Amino acid sequence: MSKDNKFIIKIDKEYTSEHELYYKMISIHNVVEGWGLTPTQINILVYLIRLGISKDTKDIICKNLKISEPSLNTNLSYLRQGKVGNKRIKKLLEISENNNNITLLKQELKDIKDIIEEGKKQIMIKFMDIVS
């Protein structure tokens, strides 16, 4: 790494699964943006991004993460409200304006999906000096 690139971190890794790549991208955003998500919530979001929000997806999440349906519904509620108890987290889900029974992904998650679907499989983090 040259002197000019001393603030760039390149994460070289072969991702064995799409789930792993999504998990890593959301985890990086979680840390950098201070979203406050738990590993379970990150996994839930990965499934929702990859498979869409449906009853079948909820069944897959419960089975694969070994959580109950009420626990999943609680986590989905937290992701819509942006809070867990007194702790603030990022609102990453929203309710459709047309139908209160439809949950939608917020733009940040759609952007992550677009980046990965466009074939961007290399993660690079650049730290920059901010002058105010």
Average pLDDT over residues 92-115: 88
Question: CA 110 to CA 119: how far, in whole Å?
Answer: 15
**How high is the pLDDT of residue 86?**
85
Average pLDDT over residues 14-26: 85
Residue 83 falls inside a structural domain = no
Give the list of residues 6+ apart from residue 55 with CB closer than 8 angstroms, or none.
none
**How high is the pLDDT of residue 42?**
96
pLDDT tens-digit readout, 76-88 = 999 999 988 788 8
Question: Could you list the residue range(s) of the whole structural domain that residue 19 is in?
Answer: 3-75+106-126
- Contact between 50 and 22 under an 8 Å Cβ cutoff? The reply is yes
Average pLDDT over residues 111-119: 86
What predicted TM-score, i.e. pTM, was given to this entire model?
Answer: 0.82
Domain count for the chain: 1
CB-based burial, 91-118: b 16+ in 10 Å, e otherwise = ebbeeeeeeeeebebeeebeebbeebee
pLDDT over 90, % of the chain: 50
